[in-house]
Amino acid sequence: MLLNREVNVYPYQRKSVSENTIGYLKENGEIIDTQSSTDSCENCREISLDNSPEALEILRHSTAHLMAQAIRELYPDAQFFVGPVVDEGFYYDFRTSEKIGEEDLKKIEKKMKELVKKKLPIERYEISKAEAIEKFKNDDLKQAVLKNIPSETVSIYRQGDFEDLCRGPHVPNTRFLHNFKLTRVAGAYLGGDENAEMLTRIYGIAFADKEALKAWQKMMEEAKRRDHRKLGTEMELFMFNDEAGAGLPFWMPKGARLRSKLEQILWRSHRRRGYEPVRGPEILKAEMWRTSGHYACYGENMYLTEIDGQEYGLKPMNCIGHILIFKNSTKSYRDLPLKYFEYGVVHRHEKSGVLHGLLRVREFTQDDAHIFCTPEQIKPVVLEVVEFVDAVMKKFGFDYTMEISTKPDKAIGDDEVWEIATQALKDALDENALDYGIDEGGGAFYGPKIDVKITDAIGRKWQCGTIQVDFNLPERFDVEYVAEDNTRKRPVMIHRAILGSFERFIAILTEHYAGEFPLFLAPTQVIFVPIAEEHTPYARELADMLRAEEIDTEIYDRNDSLNKRIRMAEKQKVPYVVIVGDEEVKSRTVAIRDRRKKEQYNLSSDEFMLQLINELKEGKI
RNA sequence: GCUGAUAUAGCUCAGCUGGCUAGAGCACCUGAUUCGUAAUCAGGAGGUCGCGGGUUCGAGUCCCGCUAUCAGCUCCA
C-alpha cells in the first residue's frame, strides 16, 4: 500500500500518543505508521503493540528491516531486494558475496538484538523517484525495485545509519522489536522468475510479546510431531525407496489397510449416488494424447515409451478412458447425466524438487469421475457434487474453502456456454449457502472450475477436490448423444475429484488426526493385551470374532511385561486397547482402554462387539 | 529443474581439526521371568558409513560426479 500523502518533512517524526502506539488504522483499512501520520488523520484507530493482524503487519515489516540492517553490518557489501510480510512472518531477499547458511542466523539474530537495545528511532522521509535512482545508482537490486514503483515520490526509512527504500509502515523505534526468530535461509529467484538470478532469502517471524512467540514455536513443534512423513515411518504406513525411484510411494500393510478402508467407504458412497465404476488402461497410444491436447499442453509431464514402433504414454489423467467407454455405444439423452468413476492411477513427471512425502508424488491414485450431461444439467450435477464434497469434508472434520475460477483470456467455447456454466457453478454454491471466492480468469482453457482447498491442522491450504466443467474434450473426441428430437448433440463433461488423490488426502488425514485415526479408518482397530499366557486363547477367540466383521486386530501376547505391552499398544494410536485377564475370561467381558474417551471401562464381549459395529457405521458417507 | 544443506544398524542419533577391530538408545533374536493398566532382567546378532570415482602411507571424515532426502523458489492432486 503506497502512501499518496505529502509527508516529506525531514526528519519528521510525529510524537506518539501513547508509548505503545505503533501506527494507525484508517477507515478504509489502510495502515499508516506514526512517521507518516499527520494531525489530519482523524477517525483513525490507534494501533498499539499487540498481536492484532495490523500490529503484526507493522511489526514484522520492521523486523525485516532490522534484519537487513544487521545483515548490512555483518556483510557490508549486502544489497537488498524486497522484504515483505507474508502469512508466516516475513522475509528479505538479498545478495552478498559471502555465502550465508543456517549457522549464520544466530549471528544475525544477535546483531539484531544489539540494534534493538540501541533504541534507534525509525525515521521516514520522501524523495523523488529520480533522486532515488541516483541515490541507489550502485545498487542494481534497488534499481529493479524502483522500476516497479509507479509513483513519482518514494519513501525512505532510516534507522541508525541504515537506510532502505520502503513504503512502510514501520514501528517508530527499534525498541519494539524484541520477540522475533529467524527461521530459515533459502534461495529465491529474483522476482519469482525461474530464469532469473537466485538471491538469498531469510525467513523470520515476529510477535508483540514473548508468549505469542513461544506459542508459535510450540505450534511449529506440533506440526513437526504431526508431519505425515514422520508418522508414516513410525506407524509403518508407507515408505519410499531410493533405488526404486523418487516420488513413488510403497504402501506397507498398515498403510494399505488404512487406504483400503478409505477406498471402500468412498466406493460405497459413489455407488449410492449412482456412479458407475469403470476402468481404463494405464497406458494409451500417444495419438490419443495428441487428440486430447495433453501431448501438446502436458507433454513435459508425461512418461512416454515405445511399443512395437508406436509411441505410447502413461496416463497423467483418466479422462480419455472414460470418454472412450462412453463412446463405445450410442448414448441417449435418457442416459444423462452419466457418471463414470474410477480410482485412477496416474503418473506425472513432477520436478524433482517439488516432491514432498505423500503430498506430492509422481504416481498417485485419483478418486476421479467424469459426468456426461447436457448444459442444462450442469447446475444440478454440480450441486450434487458439491453436496458430496461437503459430506466427505464434514465426515473427516475438515475446514475447507471453495474458489470459482472464471473464463481466462485464452479460452475455447462460446461466451454463452461459459456464462451458463459459470453461473451454474455459482448458483450451485449460492443455493447451498456456501461461501466461495472468485478467481477471475483463473479457469482452465476448456471451462470454469471450483477448487476445493482443505485447511490442514496447522492452517496450510491444500488443493484437493476439484469440479471442472469441460467443453473441450467432448469436442476433440467428437462425443455425442441422441437428443429427444433425434438429433446428435454434444454433451458437457464434468471432471471431478473429491479427495483429489488418496496419497495427498491420506497425508492430510494423518496430520489432521496426528495419526490417531477414527475407528473406521484406523489401520489396527483393536489391540488385545492378555495379562498372562493363559488368557491368550480368549483374546484369540475375540479377535476371530472381530475379524469376521472385518475389524483389524492384533494380539500383544509377547513375553514382555504387561506394562510394556500396554505401552506399546498405546503408542500404536489404536482406538481400543483391550486387556483380558482372569476376570474377563471368567465373565466373558473385556477391559477397555478407550483412546477417544480417554477412560477405562468394562463391557461384555457382546456389548463390545456391538459398540464396534455401531461405531463403524460412522464411516458411512 | 534452480539455490543451499544433509545421507553412519530397521528407527532416532554420536563419531573433534583424516589414524587401531565404527558407538548408543529403541526395535530384532535367545534365556530367565507370567506379571491387572505406559518401558522386568541378562545375554546376543546386526553396518563394505547412499552409490561411483579421486587425493593420501591411511578416508565415515577431504575433493568431484550421480542418486535420494530436507528447507525454500518455480509449478501442481
Q: Which of residues 529-558 of A touch strand B (CB under 7 A)?
A: 531-533, 558
Q: Which amino acid is at A608?
A: F
Most confident of A90-94, A214-218, A564-568: A564-568
Phi-psi region at A584: left, alpha or beta (left = phi > 0; alpha = psi -120 to 50): alpha
> What is the structure's pLDDT at A302?
93
| Angstrom distance (rounded) from CA A119 to CA A125 | 19
Position A50 pLDDT exceeds 90? no
Position A7 pLDDT exceeds 50? no
> What is the structure's pLDDT at A103?
75
> Which residue, A376, A387, A425, A420, is CA-closest to A403?
A425
Position A4 pLDDT exceeds 60? no
Position A325 pLDDT exceeds 80? yes
Q: Does the nearest atom of strand B lie within 7 Å of A567's Cβ?
A: yes
- Please tell me the total number of residues recorded for chain A in this structure: 621
Would you please indicate which residues of A are annotated as catalytic (active-site) residues?
A: 319, 348, 366, 368, 370, 449, 495
- Kind of pairing between the strands at A526-530 and A553-555: parallel
| Å between CA of A582 and C1' of B38 | 21
| Å between CA of A98 and C1' of B57 | 37
| Å between CA of A181 and C1' of B59 | 39
Least confident of A178-187, A222-231, A279-288: A178-187
> What is the structure's pLDDT at A345?
96
Position A621 pLDDT exceeds 80? yes
| Å between CA of A443 and C1' of B48 | 56
pLDDT-derived band at A10, boundaries 50, 70, 90: very low
Q: Does the nearest atom of strand B lie within 7 Å of A184's Cβ?
A: yes
Q: Within 10 A of A79 (CB to CB), how many other CB atoms are there?
A: 18
pLDDT tens figures, A375-404: 889 989 999 999 999 999 999 999 899 999
Asked if this assembly's ipTM is beyond 0.90, the reply is: yes
Least confident of A2-16, A269-283, A516-530: A2-16
> What is the structure's pLDDT at A236?
94
pTM of this prediction?
0.90
CA-to-CA separations, A213 to A46, A185, A616, in angstroms, rounded = 23, 19, 41
**Whole-number average pLDDT of chain A:** 88
Q: Does the nearest atom of strand B lie within 7 Å of A571's Cβ?
A: yes
pLDDT-derived band at A39, boundaries 50, 70, 90: low
> Which residue, A471, A469, A481, A474, is CA-closest to A334?
A481
Q: Which amino acid is at A461?
A: K
Q: Which amino acid is at A517?
A: F
Q: Does the nearest atom of strand B lie within 7 Å of A584's Cβ?
A: yes
How confident is the model over A46-61, as a mean pLDDT? 86
C-alpha cell at A424: 451454474
Residues A452 and A468 sit within 8 Å (Cβ to Cβ) = no
pLDDT tens figures, A98-117: 778 777 888 889 899 999 99
Q: How big, in percent rounded to 5, are the helix, strand and coil portions of chain A? A: 40, 30, 35
Q: Dihedrals φ, ψ of A328, to 5°?
A: -65, -25
| Angstrom distance (rounded) from CA A85 to CA A54 | 11
Q: Which residues of A161-185 are buried (b: 16+ CB within 10 A; e: fewer)?
A: ebbbbbbbbbbbbbbbbbbbbbbeb
| Angstrom distance (rounded) from CA A21 to CA A138 | 36
Residues A92 and A116 sit within 8 Å (Cβ to Cβ) = no
Answer positive or negative: Cα dihedral of A509, A510, A515, A520.
positive
> What is the structure's pLDDT at A12?
40
Beta bridge partners of A371: A339, A494
pLDDT tens figures, A252-310: 999 999 999 999 999 999 999 999 999 999 999 999 999 988 888 888 899 999 999 99
Q: Does the nearest atom of strand B lie within 7 Å of A562's Cβ?
A: yes
| Å between CA of A265 and C1' of B21 | 57
Residues A25 and A45 sit within 8 Å (Cβ to Cβ) = yes
Q: Looking at residue A138, what DSSP letter applies?
A: T
Using only C-alpha atoms, chain A has a radius of gyration, in whole angstroms, of 30
How confident is the model over A401-409, as a mean pLDDT? 86
Position A585 pLDDT exceeds 90? yes
> Which residue, A288, A409, A300, is CA-closest to A348?
A300
| Angstrom distance (rounded) from CA A342 to CA A319 | 10
Least confident of A131-140, A302-311, A490-499, A510-519: A131-140
> What is the structure's pLDDT at A533?
92
Position A15 pLDDT exceeds 50? no
How confident is the model over A170-175, as a mean pLDDT? 89
Q: Which of residues 250-289 of A touch strand B (CB under 7 A)?
A: none
% residues pLDDT > 70 (chain A): 95
Q: Which of residues 92-151 of A touch strand B (CB under 7 A)?
A: 99, 101-102
Q: Does the nearest atom of strand B lie within 7 Å of A564's Cβ?
A: yes
- In A79-223 the beta strands, taken as DSSP E runs, fall at 79-80, 85-86, 89-95, 122-128, 153-159, 162-165, 179-189, 198-207
pLDDT tens figures, A483-506: 999 999 999 999 999 999 999 999
Which residues make Cβ contacts (< 8 Å) with residue A184, sequence separation at least 6? Answer: A102, A105, A202, A203
Phi-psi region at A32: left, alpha or beta (left = phi > 0; alpha = psi -120 to 50): beta
User: Nucleotides of chain B within 7 Å of a protein C-beta?
Assistant: 1-5, 11-12, 27-28, 31-40, 50, 67-77
Q: Which amino acid is at A75?
A: Y
Q: Does the nearest atom of strand B lie within 7 Å of A581's Cβ?
A: yes
Angle in degrees, 0-180, between the axes of helices A502-512 and A253-272, rounded to the nearest 10 = 110
| Angstrom distance (rounded) from CA A193 to CA A199 | 11
| Angstrom distance (rounded) from CA A313 to CA A508 | 30
By C-alpha to C1' distance, B74 is nearest to A194
Using DSSP's 3-state secondary structure scheme, residue A408 falls into coil
pLDDT tens figures, A591-605: 999 988 888 999 999
Position A142 pLDDT exceeds 70? yes
Q: Which of residues 201-230 of A touch strand B (CB under 7 A)?
A: 201, 229
